[in-house]
Structure 1
Amino acid sequence: MPRPLGELEDAVMTRVWKWNRPVTVREVLEDLQKERSIAYTTVMTVLDNLHQKGWVRRESEGRAYRYEAVSTRAAYAAALMNEAWSRSDNAAAALVAFFGMMSEEQRQALQDAMRIVQLPQTAGGDTGNTGSAEDENPASRDEPGGR
């Protein structure tokens, strides 16, 4: 499970995710400088740290690197939510409390996601299997409730 990104790491990764392409230190620096005073070497260090932590991959381009996200912001958010949920001693109560904090827009997004998850999945044609996602996930059989 990833640790939450620090404030500056998040600011850098937000740009990497938003642009969805390999980026240079200079590009990130110039965009960050619209909001704050920051040095080239600071951005370079943050991107190097993100690379060492496995958040970005990099390719050499001349004397510089281009950095690209390894996963999406959605995957990052999902991992954080899963980690927080797994630390609870009462998963159902944690979910109820979480749902109670949601805005109407978030509730609608959750309902939309649940509809997608509950759709029958067919890979390579119709297998006739209309089982749930839990049936298709071997890990969900290991513990009650798929946890």
Structure 2
Amino acid sequence: MKSLKTILLLIIFSLLFISCDKEEEKNDPVAPPPPPATTGTISGVISVPPGSSSSPANTRVAIYANFDDWNADRTLRTVAADANGNYMIGNLPPGTYYLDAWKDQNGDGNISFGDLYNVYGSGTWPNYQLSPIAVIAGQTSPVSLQLVLL
């Protein structure tokens, strides 16, 4: 009878020990890796011309899905630069985009003489060429511009 009690106790302790091990396996602290990034970002700094009394704060930075959208001013997304000219446009699907920046100096709501403006590309206004910006998932595309007086 004593040996039967001993055997039963051994079985009970064994079951408790095994069930504890399985519980610990269920609560494994190693988390699965995060899913890969599916979007990218464009960010940079907008600056004003040397000697300008204007600030880059609230400069409209806009991106366009293609050249035709830029030409028609059909913005995909716009943000305002902060007091230091910093801006960031995130959660963009991979692809190519076009970018311009505009500071409405006279408050008329139209790009006009006296405003500060520029595009990402080469050349100077009015003879500039826009360049596409490649956005890659999980990466930031740096684009900084110095505005010019129109």
TM-score (norm 1): 0.23
Comparing both chains, which one has the higher relative contact order based on Cα–Cα distances under 8 Å and sequence gaps of 6 or more? Answer: 2
Choose 1 or 2 for highest CA Rg. Answer: 2
Q: Which has the higher helix share?
A: 1
Q: Which has the higher strand share?
A: 2
TM-score (norm 2): 0.23
